[in-house]
Amino acid sequence: MRGNLFAVAVDLVVLTVRRAELCVLLVERGAPPYAGSPALPGGFVRPDEDLVDTAARELAELTGATGRAVTGHLEQLGSYAAPDRDPRGRVLSVGYVAILPDLPDLPQPPAGSDAPAGAWRPVGPLLESPAGLAFDHDRILADGVERARAKLEYSTLAASFCPPEFTVTDLRRVYEAVWRTTIDPRNFSRKVTSADGFLEPTAALVTGGRGRPAQLFRRGPATALHPPMLRER
């Protein structure tokens, strides 16, 4: 990485909803620079990889999430190329956002792997106290969270936070966690169940709680949300 040479890396904003909070997957850096500091997971692009291949590999190493059904959602976020973003030299990083259902037990890195162990951290405190992450990962995290929040307005991305079958209440809790707000249950239920192609009812019901058994749904074929679900500004 000397002279005009530069390296290309991928950094991942891996988001999930745990205990009614939007959480991000962080790792502790084991080597300089920023040794011991929390950071977004990621790595350098190998010669035989496309960018998305690197993102999928890093995601699988940390979470065990492989295959489209388990991965949830993975999309490119943006490029980060400030000359001084990495003390080691010129590094262009491409950010990716990954949306996963709750994975309470992260697998340990395989023997001989250089992949660090990861941990889920609530997003709120990290955004309220920036400059706590290595490199420019505070900025990448903020961009990734805003991307997720915005896409919940006009797409069916919220279902990617849910397991294959879920209730309307489960889905509402996703919106509340990502947007950090409270949503009227009846109004929300009316909107999401009437949105074309958003939800498909299953034959199963959830019993054991108070009141009527809750209907289980799965994600429908739609990717765009009509009409959109606009958050309060």
pLDDT tens track for 141-200? 999 999 999 999 999 999 999 999 999 999 999 999 999 999 999 999 999 999 999 999
Give the pLDDT mean for 14-23.
Answer: 95
Instruction: Mark whether 83 and 38 lie in a shared domain.
Output: yes
Beta strands in 61-129 (DSSP E): 73-80, 91-99, 118-122
Query: What sign has the CA pseudo-torsion 20, 117, 30, 59?
Result: negative
The answer to whether residues 104 and 126 belong to one domain is yes
Residue 188 exposed, middle or buried by CB count within 10 Å (0-12, 13-18, 19+): middle
Asked, for residue 142, whether it belongs to a domain, the answer is: yes
* Tokens found for residue 162: 């849910």
Q: What is the CATH number of the domain that holds 213?
A: 1.10.10.10
Rounded Cα distance, 138 and 96, in Å: 14
Read off the CATH number of the domain in which 149 is found: 3.90.79.10
pTM, 2 dp: 0.90
| Residue pLDDT, tens place only, 35-75 | 989 999 999 999 999 999 999 999 988 887 665 444 569 99
- Tell whether 227 is covered by a domain: no
The pLDDT-based confidence of 108 (bands split at 50, 70, 90) is: low
Q: Do 84 and 55 contact (CB within 8 A), yes or no?
A: no
Range of the domain at 24: 7-154
- Is 98 within the bounds of a domain? yes
**Mean pLDDT over each residue of the chain, to the nearest integer:** 88
